[in-house]
Amino acid sequence: MQNRLKYWLLFVLVLTLALTGLSTAQAAFEDDEACLMCHKYPRMGRVTQDGVFRSYNVPPEMFSNTVHRNVPCRDCHNYIKELPHRPVETGVTCEQECHTKKNPATGKPFSHKPVYDLFQSSVHARGKIAEGLDADKPYCISCHTNPLYNPHQIEPPKKVVDRCELCHEKLDFVTQWYSHTSRRVLEVKRSGEEIVALCSRCHSNEKMLERHAAAAEEAGEPLGKKFLIAAGSYEESFHGKVTKYGLEGAATCLDCHADQENYYRGVHGILSSRDPASPTHSNNRVETCRQCHEYADEKFLAVDPHPSFDAKYNPVLHKAEAIYGVVGNGVVVALIGLSLFETFGRRRDGVGWRIRWGSTWWRRSKRKRKRIIPR
């Protein structure tokens, strides 16, 4: 009995150690330069002049689930020249050239710079540190949230990976490579609902919209007349409602406002509707509508994708809605009122509530006349 207990405890101990060992093994990412020696600590950071705590903690188990997990720290933080390093003056921006491995197609170090530059030429342009009106605009990380759990990450099919493994031997490498390429092929962009939610985060923020509209007004270049109600009016539109249902067929923000020639280029280079290159410029709108509405012509532009029943934006529609409300309710009240009046009026002839042969006429009349001849 004693022996049994001892062996049982030993087994539990070994199991615990093994599992712990497993979890830490999964959490580690390549840290050849021992940055984590300091940066693994949760309270690693500094307090600014304003009393704000700036955290420099990099939790290994979180970082190893992100898209940059295989990029060595100093590929991006390339201003660090010695360890321990001096205080950092400027941080990393998304135009950093990283990856020591060169891009085989161009021979250049890999970088997000082409997209970053495109973004800087768009209507959303801003730097990593921005103030005033620019601070309202989205930076790269506003949309590229780098989620820890990627629902689109699927387990590579064994039959495919088995083939690669024969030459490339290391299963980890094969799996990573498969995920990296397949993720692009699988078209893992946001759904229609998610796109609308993303854009609406800012474009339904009334205070922010008013700030920008007022500033543009002062600068002498007023913004588009639907700017203030963009998100709200879209939700009321046919496209907005279909998207809200979870269906993918209807136009979302990016389908019209981003150039669809190259979708991924287009969404980073969104231009103002005043810009002749924008798909929502009056010269280009018919083509934009024709992406889905094959019979659209110039006259189709009269249909409003951002409709509003507000008196300020469309007094005719506002009146139409008001009249419909009055007439609709009025008709119902009048008809039902007339029916009730009739029911009470007919009581003079002896309306009863007894069921007899499918009819309820079986009560003495209030006029005190003998209506029914006794049979």
User: Segment contacting other proteins (CB under 8 A): 97-105, 142-150, 163-171, 312-320?
Assistant: 312-320
57 binds other proteins (CB under 8 A): no
Q: Is 190 in the site for other proteins (CB under 8 A)?
A: no
In the numeric block, the tokens 């020249």 are attached to: 81
Q: Does 36 bind other proteins (CB under 8 A)?
A: no
Q: From the CB of residue 75, how many other CB atoms can be counted at a distance below 10 Å?
A: 18
CB of 242 to other proteins, least distance (A): 9
8 binds other proteins (CB under 8 A): no
Residue 270 CB-half CA count within 13 A: 14
Stretch that binds other proteins, among 21-29, 167-175, 251-259, 339-347 (CB under 8 A): 339-347
Taking CB under 8 A as the rule, does residue 91 contact other proteins?
A: no
d(CA 324, CA 320): 6
Kindly tell me which of 254 and 289 has the beta carbon lying closer to other proteins. 289
Which range, of 54-62, 135-143, 214-222, 337-345, touches other proteins by CB under 8 A? 337-345
CA atoms within 13 A on the CB side of 307: 15
Tokens of 130: 């921005």
Closer of 132 and 358 to other proteins (Cβ) = 358
Stretch near other proteins under the rule CB under 8 A, chosen from 132-140, 186-194, 221-229, 317-325: 317-325
Q: Convert 278-301 to b/e letters by CB count within 10 Å (16 or more is b).
A: bbbeeebbeebbeeeeeebeeeee
Q: Is 34 in the site for other proteins (CB under 8 A)?
A: no
Residue 330 CB, nearest approach to other proteins (Å): 10
What is the DSSP code (8-state) at residue 37?
H
Contact region for other proteins (CB under 8 A) — 120-128, 182-190, 201-209, 326-334?
A: 326-334
Q: Considering only residues 170, 297, 311, 326, which one is a binding residue for other proteins as defined by CB under 8 A?
A: 297
Residue 352 binding other proteins, by CB under 8 A: yes
We find the least distance from the C-beta atom of residue 299 to other proteins, in angstroms, to be: 5
Assess 225 for contact with other proteins (CB under 8 A): no
Told to check if 250 binds other proteins by CB under 8 A, we report: no
CB of 251 to other proteins, least distance (A): 12
CB 366 within 8 A of CB 347: yes
- The letter for the amino acid at 8 is W
Smallest separation (angstroms) from other proteins to the CB of 135: 33
Contact of 43 with 74, CB cutoff 8 Å: no
Tell me the two tokens of residue 205: 């923020």
User: What's the min distance (Å) between Cβ of 339 and other proteins?
Assistant: 6
**Whether 41 contacts 57, CB under 8 Å:** yes
**Exactly one of 245, 262, 277, 326 binds other proteins (CB under 8 A); which one?**
245
State the nearest-atom distance from the C-beta of 274 to other proteins, in Å.
21
Structure tokens at 194: 């998610």
Determine which residue in the list 15, 247, 277, 311 makes contact with other proteins, applying CB under 8 A. Answer: 247
Of the candidate residues 133, 140, 216, 317, the single one contacting other proteins (CB under 8 A)? 317
Choose between 53 and 357: whose C-beta lies nearer to other proteins.
357
Of 140-148, 154-162, 220-228, 357-365, which segment contacts other proteins by CB under 8 A? 357-365
* DSSP string for residues in 58-125: --HHHHTTSTTTTS-HHHHSTT--SSSPPPPSS---TT-EEEEEE-TTTSSEEESHHHHHHHHTSTT-
SS (H, E, C) 258-271: CCCCCHHHHHHCCC
Q: List, in sequence order, the alpha helices (H) in the chain.
A: 2-27, 36-39, 60-63, 73-76, 113-120, 140-143, 158-168, 171-185, 192-203, 206-218, 230-236, 238-244, 253-257, 263-268, 285-290, 315-345
**Residues making contact with other proteins (CB under 8 A):** 238, 241, 244-247, 289, 293-297, 299-300, 302-304, 307, 309, 314, 316-317, 320-321, 324-325, 328, 331-332, 335-336, 338-339, 341-346, 348-353, 355, 357-361, 365, 369-373
